Structure 1
């Protein structure tokens, strides 16, 4: 029988391994001038309808930079590529992000990241 400390350590190692295997996406997004409020409203509507209902979406965070108008930074974590594909294939994504939100952007970059350290 494993001792409690050894069991906790094994659970932490398993959790860290799962985190390291997840897919991390980062999207810096330049918005068309004057569209910050409209873009934020769409993202706030999208959160509970899309990522908030998706089993494989582990986290969905959108940041604004108070010193940089008309800019958002999306940071998203998915269980795997299939979860990301389901996310971008959802009806909420198609309507709100690929639809209304896409009309408000100048440019975005999709950056994949691999987890190095997680505490």
Structure 2
């Protein structure tokens, strides 16, 4: 399993629209992808204009299919990316799960 974490500071004032986009994306992208095991986006109530993405994929090929999809290109790589201040991708490997 491949785990991806993305702490994403957003441009000022874009929190609402960014949340709308990820809500729109989830059922059209990750929910339709066999290799996407989970797709979760969190907000920090104490920090405006910030989202935390935590995603789990079956393997690298599943992640590549996820980021190569048409809906990803339109909503995430397109409109959402324009709201991002800084982008950091952190890969994790599962050690233990309960």
Q: Which has the higher contact order (CA 8 A, sep 6+)?
A: 2
Q: Distance in 1 between matches of 2:46 and 2:95?
A: 29
After superposition, the C-alpha distances for 1:26-74 in whole angstroms (9 at most, x for unaligned) are 0000000000000000000000000010000000000000000000000
Does 1:52 find its partner at 2:10?
no
Residue 114 of structure 1 and its aligned partner are, at CA, apart by 0.9
Does 1:98 find its partner at 2:77?
yes
Normalised by the length of structure 2, the TM-score is 0.99
Structure-2 residue corresponding to 1:77: 56
Q: What runs of 5+ residues in structure 1 fail to find an aligned partner?
A: 1-21
Q: Distance in 1 between matches of 2:96 and 2:59?
A: 18
Residue 108 of structure 1 and its aligned partner are, at CA, apart by 1.5
After superposing on structure 2, the runs of 4+ consecutive aligned residues of structure 1 that deviate more than 4 Å are none
Q: Rg: which structure is higher?
A: 1
CA RMSD of aligned residues (A): 0.4
Does 1:23 find its partner at 2:7?
no
Say how many residue pairs are matched. 98
Normalised by the length of structure 1, the TM-score is 0.82
